[in-house]
Homo-oligomer: A and B are copies of this chain.
Amino acid sequence: MNARSAVPRIWESQRLDRRRRLERAATRLGNCVAGKVVDGSAIVGLLETVIEPGDRVCLEGNNQKQADFLAKALVRVNPALVHDLHMVQSVLALPEHLEIFEKGIATRLDFSFSGPQSARLARLVAERRIAIGAIHTYLELFSRYFIDLTPAVSLVAAQSADASGNLYTGPNTEDTPVIVEATAFKAGIVVAQVNEIVDVLPRVDIPADWVSFVVQSPKPHAIEPLFTRDPARISEIQVLMAMMAIKGIYAEYGVQRLNHGIGFDTAAIELLLPTYAESLGLKGKICKHWALNPHPALIPAIEGGFVESIYSFGSELGMEKYIAARSDIFFTGPDGSLRSNRAFCQTAGHYACDLFIGSTLQIDLAGNSSTATVGRIAGFGGAPNMGSDARGRRHATGAWLQAGRETEVTYSGPCRAGASWSSRSWKRSASTCSRLLSRSSMPGRWPRARTCRYHR
A-side residues, CB < 8 A to B, are 9-15, 110, 133-137, 139-140, 142-144, 146-148, 150, 166, 178, 181-182, 184-187, 203-205, 207-209, 256-257, 288-289, 291, 305, 309, 311, 325-329, 331-334, 339, 341, 343-345, 347-348, 350-353, 364, 366, 368, 370, 380, 384-385, 387-396, 410-415, 417, 419, 421, 449-453, 455
A209-B204, A209-B334 known; A12 vs B328 contact (CB < 8 Å): yes
Quick check: A366 and B412 within 8 Å, CB to CB?
Answer: yes
Quick check: A350 and B185 within 8 Å, CB to CB?
Answer: no
For A386, give the chain B residue with the smallest CB separation.
B392
Chain B residues whose C-beta falls within 8 Å of the C-beta of A388 in the assembled complex: 390-392
The copy count of this chain in the complex is: 2
Chain B residues whose C-beta falls within 8 Å of the C-beta of A334 in the assembled complex: 209
5 cross-chain CB contacts under 8 A: A140-B394, A364-B413, A380-B394, A385-B392, A390-B392
Given A143-B350, A147-B352, A350-B392, 9 more A-B residue pairs with CB atoms under 8 Å apart are: A137-B393, A146-B347, A147-B291, A150-B309, A186-B331, A204-B209, A368-B414, A392-B449, A421-B451
CB < 8 Å neighbour of A395 from B140, B331, B410: B140
Quick check: B326 and A139 within 8 Å, CB to CB?
Answer: no
Quick check: B139 and A392 within 8 Å, CB to CB?
Answer: yes
Distance in angstroms from A227 CB to nearest chain B CB is 19
CB < 8 Å neighbour of A394 from B137, B207, B348, B395: B137
Quick check: B139 and A351 within 8 Å, CB to CB?
Answer: yes
* Alpha-carbon separation in the docked complex, A187 to B334 (Å): 8
